[in-house]
Structure 1
Amino acid sequence: MTEKDTIQDKLARLPRRPGVYLMKDQRGKIIYVGKAVDLRQRVRSYFQSAQKLSPKVRALVEKIADLDYTVTDTEVEALILESNLIKEYKPRYNIDLKDDKHYPYLRVTVQEPFPRIHVARRVEKDGARYFGPYTNAGAVRETIRLIRRLFPLRHCRGPVDPAKSGRPCLNRHIDRCLAPCDGEVGEEEYRKLVDEVLLFLEGKQDRLLHELAARMEEAAQNLEFEKAARLRDQYQAVEAIREKQKIALTEGGDRDIIALAAGEDLGCAQLFAVRGGKLTGREHFLLTNPTGEDEAEMLAAFLRRYYTHAGEIPPEILLSGEIPDAALLEEWLRGKRGGRVRIHVPQRGAKKDLARMALDNAAMFLEQEVLRQRARDPQAALRALTEALSLEEPPCRIEGYDISHLHGEGTVAAMVVFENGVAKPSDYRRFRVRSVDKPDDYASMRETLSRRFARLAALRDAGEPPENMEDPFLLVPDLILIDGGIGQLNAARQAMEEAGYNDVPMISLAKEEELVFVTGRREPLRLPRNSAALQLLQRVRDEAHRFVITYQRKRRPGVRGSLLLDVPGIGEARRKALLKHFGSIAEMRRASVEQLAEVEGMNEAVAATLYEYLREEDRT
């Protein structure tokens, strides 16, 4: 029996019941997971006439070698099972959150006698309170720092036993912990602090301020002035944070507002968290869309994916558009929350305005991500560069050049190579500039390009073909990029004309304004900052700069004239004496052995060694 016969046999036996189906490829790997109210009808729809399927769904069906299914009692059970299987197997063709395994949560260990707060990467059924997930790990860490500054919870891990009183850590001495380990605070008092943290994370600043004011007054009446002062500082800090909440709804309550913008293969969901009638948090999530589903299906998939592991579920969820199975999702969320949940699309008022704002943000983030992906695509960047520079064809081989020196000493140059938009380190080369005695980037660039093309020009003039086509010096680049402005470009162009390669396109990229100077054009090009072409040029330029600086630092560990220390017989005293006498390494190169020996502390043997060393430097 063939694979197709096996699939057809299974299709014929599919029940007309709710459940989950799994599509597998030839290796038995699950490539798609779906749910259905009627398994027979839904699964068989994939194997209808190919003309009725979209191109991306046809691509999925062509890879199906086997299928399996699980029957459930209800649609809600099918939805839960589908979400869990997608999370477990991460099928290639399912809509899914990008990199959601990295999304952090804030975890408050309320199940412990003396809770603490920290970052968690997954939600466990351990009794702790979870907030998130969040897409910005840096913002999560900043939130923890803020909370620890406002609320002196313990930082240490493990259980706390006040009976075994120990020495408090530094956090106690800087008022960042109440030191339950030393018995300085009881469990009841510490729990009040934890409740304040929870109110803060829930966005209930008004209620938190009321609690802090009451505790502050109680402490003052009990003559606990240090405690009252600490509570006053907390009150003022929370009040300042509340004032930063610029957006407020006319109605109170807790709700999530979710909007989705969809592209061809990618979508972005924007989530606004409203707590107590104020906008307390914003997160955006990127979704993959391998089978080209519409926005409604993507939004529904995001809700299933997000709320499967969300730290909290509000009683109201506002959407930017209608979704399929809204009633089913409501039923599922009610079961998870243990209370009422309403999903709907606002039609007017402040809620609609917030939904529109969320949609605008989602569209903006999606556009930025698409541009970033295009910039990371080497072929797209090359095409954009070809158009921007009006080249006849994409520059498959790009060479970038940069010059570096340390206070005018030890000038070096570097050549980096990008092939098909990707760095090729095996073709990188370094140069020690020989003809320049003082800082002169123009002369250094002329020498570097002259030496780079000298062998190739010699072979061309002799009419001999290059023998080793893997030698980077025997290949003609499609584009040369110089780090610098019009002066560096003109110097490089002069060297190329002398070598007979003035037909090779050359440009330079100036820092700060990122202007692109092109030979033959009077005015520089100003490419958009988000241009894939500019970002490719920046990568080449930055790589050349990194490579030459690394070489410079390797040769000059940070001390002027430090290469002298590599000469046998020369130490720190002789190095200083030589530099004081000659002024620079360049002047030493011009000196004879006798002149070197005349320097205080030198002798003829060391002078002869230095003389040969400097000549060897010139030959490299």
Structure 2
Amino acid sequence: MVTSTKTIPLIKDPDRLEDRLKEIPTEPGVYLMRDSSDRILYIGKSKKLRSRVRSYFRDSQRLSDRIAIMVRQVAEIEFIVTDSEAEALALEANLVKQHQPYFNVLLKDDKKYPFICITWSEDYPRIFITRKRQLGNAKDKYYGPYVDVRLLRNTLHLLKQIFPQRQRPRPLFKDRPCLNYDLGRCPGVCQQLISSEEYRKTLQKIAMVFQGRTRELIDMLTANMEQAAEALNFETAARIRDQIAGLKSLNADQKVSLPDDTVSRDAIALAANEQHASIQLFQIRAGHLVGRLGFFADARSGTPGAILQRVLEEHYQAAEAVEIPAEILVQYELPESELLADYLSDRKGKKVTILTPQRQTKAELIEMVERNAKYELERTQRSSDRNTQAMEDLANILDLPDLPHRIEGYDISHIQGSNAVASQVVFIDGTPAKQHYRHYKIKNPAVTIGHSDDFASLAEVIRRRFKNFVAADVAADGVT
């Protein structure tokens, strides 16, 4: 059997590696690293492609554990040349969003913080809170992740009172609207008593709140109220007046004292220990704190400035142009601050400034964000310590040589033998991994009404759960 040289990692073939590096130009652009299965491992950008790619393979270069693992898998390197660094950043953002390479995902997706989702892909979009950011439909929009879950729920509850919208995921009745329609809380979406275009206009107003554009929305509604009053349409004017009052109450207690409070700005800072970095981003619009977003990253993945830059890149890549603020305050100098500012300015259509404040009010704001990140890191660490202690106790009770990494639990449920189902729950390092939860329908014909058999049902579920692993072991042993 002959193995192609392209399936061998470059690090094990120095001659091919050197030839490949010489082929890479010194111009700005994007590089793609692939493994032996042609899977994209990582997508990066640089103003000098050859120097940047070569740095991964220098013996003197100190790489993080995560990147070192990636480099050992690289079997091929591709590149795309661009005219400028800003174009390289934009292209990298699009390619990462399209391919989602494993080693590009800096932020930990642990379902810790919730998002707001608006399903623009549907004729009558839904709006709801979720901890799973699905990337299947590009039209659907996610806002977050938000740190304060209670505040987020209260905000969404109030918005449902201010703006009539669908209250249920599915219609309650087939031929008539529910009580929410009579109360004025829903425009009758289930019976299509409002057109899709009109309903989307309502949802666009709600989206402006999560984009941090509440002040702009209030100004727009104020103009609409005045027009309705001039046209003697006092009922409409009164309804809009109530909407304005509700919106003003959203941020009534979230005043942040800053000079130039008409400037929209984001402030980002982190706190880190040896393994984890807790990052918080405060969104301030018109002097009000309208959003507090939270992220977690691997503290070993880079310098604090590099981590902040990557968080900002991933955050603004998913944001709309109107969500990008005019000013961004950062705790540490970013490695490519000017490049990121130019990229964001191009997207926004206006100048975006990135500052590292050292004194006065803006520096105090960064300190406040850092304190919040530190508190969140400490809280998470305490929870992790409790999980570790529980895992150690379990290992002692079961006389295990090591702490269990993955725990699966199964249970059977039925109604006197009918409709038998099984549930699977999963814990990873002591934390519920709900993305791996599963349900099974029992197919055993012997399990019927009046005759339940939990042992046989469990045997079936375990067999179905691990049949692929058994088949893989058989194939590895050469047995057919």
TM-score bin, normalised by smaller chain: 0.5 to 0.7
From the superposition, tell whether residues 152 and 372 of structure 1 become closer, same or farther in structure 2 (CA, over 3 Å).
Answer: same
Residue from 35, 40, 48 that aligns with 2:50: 40
Partner of 2:88: 78
- Taking the aligned partners of 2:114 and 2:243, their CA distance within structure 1 comes to 29
- Taking the aligned partners of 1:71 and 1:425, their CA distance within structure 2 comes to 44
- Taking the aligned partners of 1:219 and 1:60, their CA distance within structure 2 comes to 64
| Contact 1:255/1:273 (<8 A) preserved | yes
Name the SS of the counterpart of 1:20 in structure 2. strand
Query: How far does residue 325 in structure 1 lie from its aligned partner after superposition?
Result: 1.3
Matched, 1:264 2:274: yes
| Contact 1:97/1:302 (<8 A) preserved | yes
Residue from 280, 284, 287 that aligns with 2:297: 287
| Contact 1:315/1:342 (<8 A) preserved | yes
Map 1:215-614; keep pairs closer than 5 Å. 227=236, 230-251=239-260, 252-289=262-299, 292-311=301-320, 312-377=323-388, 382=392, 396-398=395-397, 422=404
- Taking the aligned partners of 1:111 and 1:195, their CA distance within structure 2 comes to 14
Residue from 157, 172, 185 that aligns with 1:145: 157
- Taking the aligned partners of 1:136 and 1:358, their CA distance within structure 2 comes to 12
Deviates more, 1:5-14 or 1:180-189: 180-189
Query: How far does residue 131 in structure 1 lie from its aligned partner after superposition?
Result: 6.1
Question: Which has the greater radius of gyration?
Answer: 1
- Taking the aligned partners of 2:74 and 2:218, their CA distance within structure 1 comes to 61
Partner of 1:488: none
Partner of 2:452: none
Deviates more, 1:261-270 or 1:148-157: 148-157
Query: How far does residue 103 in structure 1 lie from its aligned partner after superposition?
Result: 6.0
Q: Matched residue pairs, number? A: 388
Name the SS of the counterpart of 2:55 in structure 1. helix
| Contact 1:104/1:137 (<8 A) preserved | no
Residues 516-550 of structure 1, C-alpha deviation per residue, up to 9 Å, x if partnerless?
Answer: xxxxxxxxxxxxxxxxxxx99xx9xxxxxxxxxxx
- Taking the aligned partners of 1:363 and 1:104, their CA distance within structure 2 comes to 22
| Contact 2:269/2:369 (<8 A) preserved | yes
Query: How far does residue 285 in structure 1 lie from its aligned partner after superposition?
Result: 0.6
| Contact 2:327/2:354 (<8 A) preserved | yes
From the superposition, tell whether residues 419 and 177 of structure 1 become closer, same or farther in structure 2 (CA, over 3 Å).
Answer: same
Query: How far does residue 138 in structure 1 lie from its aligned partner after superposition?
Result: 5.2
Residues 149-205 of structure 1, C-alpha deviation per residue, up to 9 Å, x if partnerless?
Answer: 1111356899xxxxxxx8554332011134489898799987885675455444455
- Taking the aligned partners of 1:89 and 1:137, their CA distance within structure 2 comes to 31
Name the SS of the counterpart of 1:96 in structure 2. coil
Partner of 1:459: none
Residues 583-611 of structure 1, C-alpha deviation per residue, up to 9 Å, x if partnerless?
Answer: xxxxxxxxxxxxxxxxxxxxxxxxxxxxx
Partner of 2:62: 53
| Contact 2:147/2:294 (<8 A) preserved | no
From the superposition, tell whether residues 302 and 59 of structure 1 become closer, same or farther in structure 2 (CA, over 3 Å).
Answer: same
Residues 357-381 of structure 1, C-alpha deviation per residue, up to 9 Å, x if partnerless?
Answer: 11221222223334434443469x6
From the superposition, tell whether residues 421 and 231 of structure 1 become closer, same or farther in structure 2 (CA, over 3 Å).
Answer: same
- Which amino acid letter does the alignment assign opposite residue 160 of structure 2? R
- Taking the aligned partners of 1:58 and 1:285, their CA distance within structure 2 comes to 20
Query: How far does residue 302 in structure 1 lie from its aligned partner after superposition?
Result: 1.2
Deviates more, 1:115-124 or 1:234-243: 115-124
Name the SS of the counterpart of 1:34 in structure 2. strand
| Contact 2:268/2:366 (<8 A) preserved | yes
- Taking the aligned partners of 2:385 and 2:128, their CA distance within structure 1 comes to 36
- Taking the aligned partners of 2:395 and 2:177, their CA distance within structure 1 comes to 64
| Contact 2:57/2:71 (<8 A) preserved | no
| Contact 2:275/2:299 (<8 A) preserved | yes
- Taking the aligned partners of 2:199 and 2:331, their CA distance within structure 1 comes to 42
- Taking the aligned partners of 1:12 and 1:212, their CA distance within structure 2 comes to 60
Name the SS of the counterpart of 2:289 in structure 1. strand
| Contact 1:268/1:365 (<8 A) preserved | yes
- Taking the aligned partners of 2:80 and 2:43, their CA distance within structure 1 comes to 13
| Contact 2:143/2:210 (<8 A) preserved | no
Residues 367-397 of structure 1, C-alpha deviation per residue, up to 9 Å, x if partnerless?
Answer: 3334434443469x64xx8xxxxxxxxx952
Partner of 1:479: none
Partner of 1:5: 15
- Which amino acid letter does the alignment assign opposite residue 338 of structure 1? G
From the superposition, tell whether residues 143 and 315 of structure 1 become closer, same or farther in structure 2 (CA, over 3 Å).
Answer: same
| Contact 2:166/2:186 (<8 A) preserved | yes
- Which amino acid letter does the alignment assign opposite residue 134 of structure 1? P
- Taking the aligned partners of 1:307 and 1:270, their CA distance within structure 2 comes to 14
Residues 441-491 of structure 1, C-alpha deviation per residue, up to 9 Å, x if partnerless?
Answer: xxxxxxxxxxxxxxxxxxxxxxxxxxxxxxxxxxxxxxxxxxxxxxxxxxx
| Contact 1:6/1:66 (<8 A) preserved | no
Residues 12-38 of structure 1, C-alpha deviation per residue, up to 9 Å, x if partnerless?
Answer: 332222233334455554444332222
| TM-score using structure 1 length | 0.52
Residues 205-234 of structure 1, C-alpha deviation per residue, up to 9 Å, x if partnerless?
Answer: 556556656666776787766555544543
Query: How far does residue 68 in structure 1 lie from its aligned partner after superposition?
Result: 0.6
In percent, how many aligned pairs have the same letter?
A: 33
| TM-score using structure 2 length | 0.65
- Taking the aligned partners of 1:136 and 1:205, their CA distance within structure 2 comes to 19
Residue from 115, 134, 139 that aligns with 1:104: 115
- Which amino acid letter does the alignment assign opposite residue 250 of structure 1? P
Name the SS of the counterpart of 2:251 in structure 1. helix
Name the SS of the counterpart of 2:158 in structure 1. helix
| Contact 2:43/2:96 (<8 A) preserved | yes
Query: How far does residue 84 in structure 1 lie from its aligned partner after superposition?
Result: 4.0
| Contact 2:36/2:76 (<8 A) preserved | no
| Contact 1:202/1:275 (<8 A) preserved | no
| Contact 1:115/1:153 (<8 A) preserved | no
Name the SS of the counterpart of 2:247 in structure 1. helix
From the superposition, tell whether residues 367 and 87 of structure 1 become closer, same or farther in structure 2 (CA, over 3 Å).
Answer: farther
Structure 2: runs of 5 or more not aligned:
6-11, 410-428, 433-480
From the superposition, tell whether residues 173 and 34 of structure 1 become closer, same or farther in structure 2 (CA, over 3 Å).
Answer: same
From the superposition, tell whether residues 12 and 357 of structure 1 become closer, same or farther in structure 2 (CA, over 3 Å).
Answer: same
Name the SS of the counterpart of 1:243 in structure 2. coil
From the superposition, tell whether residues 372 and 221 of structure 1 become closer, same or farther in structure 2 (CA, over 3 Å).
Answer: same
- Taking the aligned partners of 2:191 and 2:78, their CA distance within structure 1 comes to 57
Partner of 1:68: 77
Highest relative contact order (Cα 8 Å, sep 6+), 1 or 2?
A: 2
Partner of 2:27: 17
- Taking the aligned partners of 1:194 and 1:55, their CA distance within structure 2 comes to 44
